[in-house]
Amino acid sequence: MATEEPKYTLLEKSEPFELRAYAPLIVAEVKVDGDLDAASSQGFRLIAAYIFGKNQVSEKIAMTTPVGIESSDQNEGAKIAMTAPVGIESSKSPDNAGNQWMVSFVMPAEYTLASLPKPLDPKVKIREVPAEKRAVITFSGFYNEEKVQEKTQALRDWIKLKNLKPTGEPQFARYNPPWTLPFMRRNEVMIQVQD
């Protein structure tokens, strides 16, 4: 059974880059502290509890992909670049213990803000994301700080080459469960852009 992904129109493709136009969507998101690995696990658990029935009507919501992760600082909703340490498999120093990350799941397209069950956990927020264009680089395998930084820089270079204007900070997206073989994993770095 295929897992639902956000709907988009492919505007341009030049491997491994794509320019996509995404339809509006709804996300459930949570802000968590720690290094990327710990924050990703904690955020995943909080949102998974919501979609598996920890909501006002105990309704189960279908799982979708990807799981989105982006770094955010202490300011309300402010985002910082993914060039901050984001090593997911290496141990982090105590200096990184205060990092904040936004972990998000896209909700199935069948829901509206009005029809989506309300989360019982106040940390889980629901919000609508308007239609947007995103430049994307796709890669497989395990990811670590160096690989994400390398892919983010390659995407920034492609955006510049295409005379696009970045309007958001990088978001890292994972599409596979942890037991997926490395060569079969799909990872992406996305940056919102305008022409």
Domain ranges for the chain, please list them: 10-194
- Whether pTM > 0.85 for this model: the answer is no
Structure tokens at 90: 């290496």
Percent of the chain with pLDDT over 90: 39
Q: What is the mean pLDDT of the chain?
A: 80
119 upstream amide cis, omega within 30 of 0: no
pLDDT of residue 48: 87
The pLDDT tens digits for 79-118 are: 222 222 222 222 233 444 457 888 888 888 889 999 999 9
Q: 118 φ, ψ to 5°?
A: -80, 135
- For 42-81, the pLDDT digits (tens) are 888 898 899 888 888 888 888 777 777 777 643 333 222 2
| Model pLDDT, residue 77 | 30
CB 71 within 8 A of CB 101: yes
What pLDDT, on the 0 to 100 scale, is given for residue 74?
Answer: 35
Identity of residue 97: A
Query: What pLDDT, on the 0 to 100 scale, is given for residue 100?
Result: 80
Cα(44)–Cα(173) distance, integer angstroms: 13
The predicted pLDDT at position 145 comes to: 66
Which one has a higher pLDDT value, 73 or 125? 125
- Specify the CATH number for 10-194; select among 3.60.20.10, 3.40.50.150, 3.20.80.10, 3.30.870.10: 3.20.80.10
User: Contact, 190 vs 138, CB < 8 A?
Assistant: no
Query: Which string of DSSP letters, residue by residue, matches 78-126?
Result: -B--TTS---SSSPPPGGGTT-EEEEEEEPPTT--TTTSPPBSSTT-EE
pLDDT of 155 strictly over 80: yes
53 dihedral zone (left: phi>0; alpha: psi -120 to 50; beta): left
For the record, the structure tokens of 94 come out as: 């105590």
Question: In the prediction, which pLDDT does 96 show?
Answer: 42
The rounded distance, in Å, linking the Cα atoms of 33 and 44 is 13
Is 20's pLDDT higher than 50? yes
Tokens representing 52?
């598996």
Between 2 and 7, the more confident residue is 7
